[in-house]
């Protein structure tokens, strides 16, 4: 298993790498060739040159350079929001660009470091570097980060602690190193042109133990809250770009954006945590694995102009930062613009973005049709609305709990599947802390799990972690969320509004930034 040569003779191979530096050089070359190609790479180089800093004959991007690039395609009203997210993204790119030694990274964001970091962060290699858990994608959240990707992302953002050098290394410690070796040695053979099944193996590469360890199990640091919150806000602003709702639409509701950002952050903050200024790996991994699985789908909206080639009005890009920013703003104007749905009794644009982050991407969240919206609870009418199987539906319930306002809801997927595999209903909470309850088990038929009496409506799901979760509404305008089996949830609230929406058709992404 290895890498084919770039020379003319099929029997000539690239020499095996022997040092950490050679391994890193070969990996970044392989990722570039496999993921970008010459045209995209020339575009990337041109963008890098425009925004870079040069010092002592070395060109690189500082945090300030990254900020100037990032704000290019955002309206001036959002410039400060974008700038504040740059420090953690700069750290992330430097570390990912140092893969597999991201726990002992490069010092500066050089061109090749930025290129590798971008490829890994945006998964431009199609997930080949870190494959799905057990080789199986999630039926409900196919774009989610798998366990290995969540670990790598945490390591790229956290203030990491030094590795323990007193314990012997093992295969888990060398996981990222081995993945890098697997990638650069893939195809290390040549085929006989007359007998395609006859192959000549290339030279043998050293085992992982020959190189310094990648310390892949190092997760004892914390992501600083002060850095992470601006990134959450940026993801909230960019989440809906694939639905044709650009960040420009959020400029009129910035106060609501801040409120919903605080809700997102609350999902990552442990109650009674010893350190409230940092986010642990256990919390980060759990939230991304269960509740906010679409959190980083807005990253291509931020970094797409680095690699997405657009036709130029002249032969080349302008050399000045200001002129380049103006041009990128024009080139990356959304190809499709969707009018945001009007505010409802519960819904607003930032909450719609949060809904898209929390729920599956298999329905057009922007194309909602309001079936029910009232401050009163009509059990039979609500049941009729959510029982329709021809479209996907979302029910939202807002109310007042013991000490704060809450928003709960349920998602009912479209009741037919071309694959013959049905998808589970979901119960979720949006405020004050977003979380999602569902079963990842495949089933062959839709089970609505929705029951009514004259005075009560119940929606239930069997959550993978907490067991049976029930969201109940009473005709006396009260509600409850309860968990049985492993769970210990029992929340009651006074309902002040209920909304039910249906969604026609399938979701197709806008690809302006791909």
pLDDT in tens, 477-503: 999 999 876 667 889 999 999 999 999
Q: Tell me, yes or no, whether 125 and 262 share the same domain.
A: yes
pLDDT category of residue 195 using cuts at 50, 70 and 90: confident
Q: Tell me, yes or no, whether 310 and 391 share the same domain.
A: no
Q: What is the mean pLDDT of residues 234-255?
A: 95
pLDDT value, residue 439: 80
Tally: H helices and E strands in the chain = 14, 17
pLDDT value, residue 138: 58
Q: Tell me, yes or no, whether 312 and 432 share the same domain.
A: no
* DSSP-assigned letters across all residues of 131-144: PPGGG---SS-TTS
Distance from C-alpha of 150 to C-alpha of 293, rounded to nearest angstrom: 10
Spell out the residues 6+ positions from residue 199 whose beta carbon is closer than 8 angstroms to its own: 189, 190, 191, 192
Identify whether 473 is part of a domain: yes
Q: Tell me, yes or no, whether 314 and 372 share the same domain.
A: no
Q: What is the mean pLDDT of residues 404-426?
A: 74
Mean pLDDT of the chain: 87
Q: Tell me, yes or no, whether 391 and 315 share the same domain.
A: no
Tokens representing 111 are 């061109």
Q: Tell me, yes or no, whether 236 and 131 share the same domain.
A: yes
Identify whether 229 is part of a domain: yes
Span 252-291, pLDDT tens digits: 999 999 999 999 999 999 765 666 889 999 999 999 998 9
Identify whether 352 is part of a domain: no
Q: Tell me, yes or no, whether 250 and 151 share the same domain.
A: yes
Identify whether 10 is part of a domain: no
pLDDT value, residue 208: 94
Alpha-carbon separation of residue 452 from 110, 190, 383, 482, 497 (angstroms): 61, 66, 7, 17, 19
pLDDT value, residue 271: 67
Identify whether 169 is part of a domain: no
User: 3-state SS of 146-211?
Assistant: CHHHHHHHHHHHCECCCCCCCCCCCCCCCHHHHHHHHHHCCCCEEECCCCCCCEEECCCCCCHHHC
Cα dihedral value 170, 175, 177, 183, nearest 10: 140
> 3-class SS at 55?
strand
Distance from C-alpha of 198 to C-alpha of 486, rounded to nearest angstrom: 56
Q: Residue count of the chain, please give it.
A: 514
Tokens representing 122 are 């945006």
Residue 437: domain span: 359-503
Predicted TM-score of the model (pTM): 0.91
In the numeric block, the tokens 């570390």 are attached to 95
pLDDT at 444 over 50: no
pLDDT at 422 over 60: no
pLDDT value, residue 434: 96
Alpha-carbon separation of residue 28 from 33, 96, 371, 486 (angstroms): 9, 11, 52, 46
Identify whether 139 is part of a domain: yes
> 3-class SS at 114?
helix
Count Cβ atoms within 10 A of the Cβ of residue 468 and give its class: 0-12 exposed, 13-18 middle, 19 or more buried: middle
More confident residue, 240 or 4: 240
Q: Tell me, yes or no, whether 279 and 407 share the same domain.
A: no
Q: Tell me, yes or no, whether 412 and 319 share the same domain.
A: no
Structural domain tally of the chain?
2
pLDDT value, residue 274: 60
Q: Tell me, yes or no, whether 325 and 386 share the same domain.
A: no
Tokens representing 98 are 């140092």
Q: Are 426 and 461 in contact (CB under 8 A)?
A: yes
Q: Tell me, yes or no, whether 424 and 326 share the same domain.
A: no
Identify whether 508 is part of a domain: no
Measured over the CA atoms of residue 53, residue 57, residue 59 and residue 60, the dihedral's sign is negative
209 preceded by cis ω (within 30°)? no
pLDDT value, residue 418: 39
Identify whether 30 is part of a domain: no
Q: Tell me, yes or no, whether 446 and 300 share the same domain.
A: no
């Amino acid at each position: 298993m290895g890498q084919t040569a770039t020379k003319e003779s099929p029997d000539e191979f690239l020499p095996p790498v022997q040092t950490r530096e050679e391994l890193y050089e070969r990996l970044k070359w392989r990722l570039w060739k496999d993921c970008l190609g010459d045209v995209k790479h020339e575009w990337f180089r041109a963008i890098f040159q425009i925004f870079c800093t040069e010092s002592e004959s070395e060109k690189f991007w500082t945090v300030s350079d990254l900020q100037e690039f990032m704000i290019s395609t955002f309206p001036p009203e959002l410039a400060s929001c974008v700038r504040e997210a740059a420090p953690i993204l700069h750290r992330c790119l430097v570390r990912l660009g140092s893969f597999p030694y991201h726990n002992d990274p490069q010092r500066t964001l050089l061109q090749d470091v930025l290129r590798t970091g971008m490829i890994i962060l945006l998964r431009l290699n199609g997930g080949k570097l870190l494959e799905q858990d057990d080789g199986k994608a999630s039926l409900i959240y196919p774009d989610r980060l798998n366990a290995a990707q969540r670990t790598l992302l945490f390591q790229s953002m956290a203030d990491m602690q030094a590795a323990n050098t007193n314990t012997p290394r093992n295969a888990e410690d060398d996981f990222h190193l081995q993945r890098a070796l697997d990638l650069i040695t893939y195809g290390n053979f040549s085929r006989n042109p007359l007998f395609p099944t006859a192959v000549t193996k290339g030279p043998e590469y050293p085992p992982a133990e020959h190189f310094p360890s990648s310390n892949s199990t190092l997760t004892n640091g914390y992501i600083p809250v002060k850095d992470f919150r601006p990134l959450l806000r940026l993801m909230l602003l960019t989440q809906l770009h694939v639905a044709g709702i650009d960040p420009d639409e959020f400029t009129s509701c910035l106060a609501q954006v801040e409120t919903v950002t605080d809700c997102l952050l609350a999902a990552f903050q442990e109650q009674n945590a010893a350190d409230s200024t940092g986010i642990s790996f256990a919390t980060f991994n759990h939230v991304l694995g269960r509740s906010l699985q679409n959190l980083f789908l807005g990253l291509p909206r931020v970094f797409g102009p680095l690699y997405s080639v657009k036709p130029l009005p002249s032969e080349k890009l302008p050399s000045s930062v200001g002129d380049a920013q103006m041009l990128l703003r024009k080139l990356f104007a959304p190809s499709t613009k969707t009018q945001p749905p009007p505010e409802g009794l519960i819904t607003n644009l930032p909450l719609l973005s949060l809904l898209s982050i929390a729920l599956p991407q298999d329905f057009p969240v922007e194309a909602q049709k309001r079936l029910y919206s009232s401050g009163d609870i009509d059990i039979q009418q609500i049941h009729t609305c959510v029982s329709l199987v021809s479209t996907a539906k979302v029910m939202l319930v807002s109310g007042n709990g013991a000490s704060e306002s809450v928003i709960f809801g349920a998602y009912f997927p479209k009741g037919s599947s071309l694959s013959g595999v049905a998808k589970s209903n979901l119960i979720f909470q949006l405020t004050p802390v977003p979380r999602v309850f569902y079963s990842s088990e495949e089933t062959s038929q839709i089970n609505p799990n929705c029951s009514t009496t004259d005075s009560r409506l119940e929606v239930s799901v069997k959550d993978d972690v907490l067991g049976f979760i029930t969201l109940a509404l009473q005709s006396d305008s009260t509600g409850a969320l309860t968990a049985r089996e492993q769970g210990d949830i029992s929340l009651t609230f006074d309902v002040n509004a209920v909304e039910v929406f249906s969604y026609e058709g399938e979701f197709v992404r806008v690809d302006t930034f791909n």
